[in-house]
Amino acid sequence: MTGAGGARLGRSSVEVLDQRQALALRAELTYDHVGSTLHPDRWPGRAARSVRRVLARVDDDLSGRKAFATAVDGLRTWVPQRHLGARIHPPGAVVEVGQTLLVVLAFGPVEVTAPNRVVDVVDEADRFGFAYGTLPGHPARGEEAFLIERVEGGDLHLHVTVDATPATLAGRALAPVVAQVQHQAVNRYLRGLARHIRP
């Protein structure tokens, strides 16, 4: 295992996750294009992949504002990641710049720990989102962002932007598979947040 992340057999205890979290807190980001997902204009020439989906259609301003507030709550409580089946460590991690967290996913008997740090937050009347970047041990190298936006008419859109590449030789060899997994993850992010808005 490298850094605070990596793959292992079995499930990590809270004590082990605390140790990895301590390593992640001292680590530096593993990429140099910080902010490229929420501010692509600052990074011309980068090929970030962005998906925009309708999260909710609303009939009036009041229901639009309620849906937006609920969706923001969903991002603040890591609903998209949890809908993938991920554990977030520490469990009370908040969405603020500098927050370091572990996203822990199980694939059968294998557990993968991906350490991240929140590098940017957008908090406006009709837009809310954040970007987090990879730390040593993450299977990718780069950044991912989630942005909820109220558009004209009140409908909610979710933008998921990824500007990352596999961090290992094996990951690069499996790049087409990784791209397919990322595509499926985006769909599950959307479904999880949509269910959070409309239980």
1-10, 59-68, 109-118, 189-198: least confidently modelled range: 1-10
Amino acid at site 102: L
Phi, then psi, of 53 in degrees rounded to 5: -130, 150
Phi, then psi, of 107 in degrees rounded to 5: -120, 90
What region does 108 belong to: left with phi over 0, alpha with psi -120 to 50, or beta?
Answer: left
The CB-side HSE value for 129 (13 A sphere, CA atoms) comes to: 22
Q: Per-residue pLDDT tens for 17-29?
A: 999 999 999 999 9
Q: How many domains does the chain have?
A: 1
Query: Greater confidence, 3 or 163?
Result: 163
pLDDT value at position 190? 85
Q: Per-residue pLDDT tens for 82-98?
A: 998 999 999 999 999 99
CATH classification of the domain holding 168: 3.30.530.20
In a domain, 1, yes or no: no
In a domain, 94, yes or no: no
In a domain, 89, yes or no: no
> What does pTM read for this prediction?
0.91
In a domain, 136, yes or no: yes
What is the rounded CA–CA span in Å between residue 19 and residue 12?
11
Q: Per-residue pLDDT tens for 101-117?
A: 999 988 889 898 999 99
Print the domain residue range for 57: 30-84+115-197
Q: Per-residue pLDDT tens for 23-75?
A: 999 999 999 999 999 999 999 888 888 888 898 888 777 788 889 999 999 99
H/E element holding 87? strand 87-89
User: Is 30:167 a contact under the CB 8 Å cutoff?
Assistant: yes
